[in-house]
Structure 1
């Protein structure tokens, strides 16, 4: 908010106790800490010597796939509550947010159970052949604030995490653009790291097709 010159108050609007930083929003705010306590992630709050991105990487390395779903849902809920407090002047308590996360996960599980077995196809991450490095990218988009969150992970042929990257982008016009930004950042990381052979993988089919096409893209996204 302060960087966008919408407010001169640099304090986090949720609690008003400290400057609004990623660390405070997702780790230090008392409301956030209450959420992690209810969701059984409080032990990770003891890791205080790492910056936010390194902390995220540490958490993802230590939790199971099921816990990862809950953790990611909680991150999104915390950020969404922050935006609602700013733009709609509404907010929920830490317990209400934690309850929402648990309900959301339960609804996802219920929907999954209702899918016919013939459609339950789970695609697992596949190791790249040696000496390739596989860079996976993904993006989440919030149309109400025109912001996107990008996540990138690079692994070697043994599945070892070589690099992780996350960033929030503002003034993003669409979900497609958010995925395109994520793909661009994945390619940039591969070039910057000077890995000789890379595979870039994501679930944004439209973006992948654009990247594979040889014709010049004259659309707004390709400009």
Structure 2
């Protein structure tokens, strides 16, 4: 322990967690993840940690205060916060989703990047759809969706037909939401959606989708 740097110790911890997750995925989900995928996951998480360290303590303190204002959903409900980040240069959209229960415990987290026209509204709509899909995949029946894209929230709440690219995605969101026993969707300001936003930015540097059950990437650890 004394011979290794803090970064090396961090990499050991990240690697151990990734190996354990690989084992659990194989045992409980019967899904095989190759060692190369584990290596890529560790590399991506270490890049995110390095980026976070370089961002400075001042920014971290501000984010902690903002993230602490998140409000839990009612009992038996789960809340999914989503956000999108745009990389215009590579035409990529990063999607971040964090799902928590009524006690504030993390049920799942998601980082995913897709190649898409760098349209912020379309990116936010795609992120809302991915958040809804994740909740369905988790088998949840009572959900609350929160995002900081007011136009997307209003479109999901509305009844107007829209045949644009964004409108078609919104239509898919509505169709999927109709399968839940109870659901609602709400707009929140960016400062209350900082965890999902951080996950979305992290997704842009991930080499593959990162979906963790009852866990989350180290890039948002300081926000809890």
Q: Normalising by the residue count of structure 2, what TM-score does the alignment of the two structures yield?
A: 0.51
Does the CA-based 8 Å contact 2:87-2:118 persist in structure 1? no
1:163-221 alpha-carbon deviations (Å, 9 max, x no partner): 11111111333122221111001111122222121001111111111111111112221
Give me the whole-angstrom Cα distance separating, in 2, the residues matched to 1:76 and 1:148: 21
SS in structure 1 of the partner of residue 140 of structure 2: coil
Tell me if the contact between 1:146 and 1:174 (Cα under 8 Å) persists in the aligned partners: no
Deviation at 1:138, TM superposition (A): 1.3
Q: Does 1:45 align with 2:11?
A: yes
Unaligned runs of 5+ in 2: 23-44, 169-224
**90, 94, 97: which one pairs with 1:149?**
94
SS of structure 2 residue aligned to 1:49: helix
**Structure with greater strand percent:** 2
Runs of 4+ in structure 1 off by over 4 angstroms are 120-123
Number of the residue aligned with 2:42: none
Unaligned runs of 5+ in 1: 1-36, 56-71, 79-96, 113-119
1:75 to 48, 57, 62: 48
Secondary structure (helix, strand or coil) at the match of 1:222 reads helix
SS of the equivalent of 2:126 reads helix
In the alignment, what sits opposite 1:177?
Answer: 122
1:124 aligns with 2:33: no
Q: CA deviation at 1:139?
A: 1.5
Larger Rg: 1
User: C-alpha deviations, 1:58-88, integer Å up to 9, x for none?
Assistant: xxxxxxxxxxxxxx9x73996xxxxxxxxxx
CA RMSD of aligned residues (A): 3.3
- Corresponding position of 1:217: 162
SS of 2:11's equivalent?
helix
Q: Which has the higher helix share?
A: 2
Question: How far apart in 2 are the matches of 1:183 and 1:75?
Answer: 23
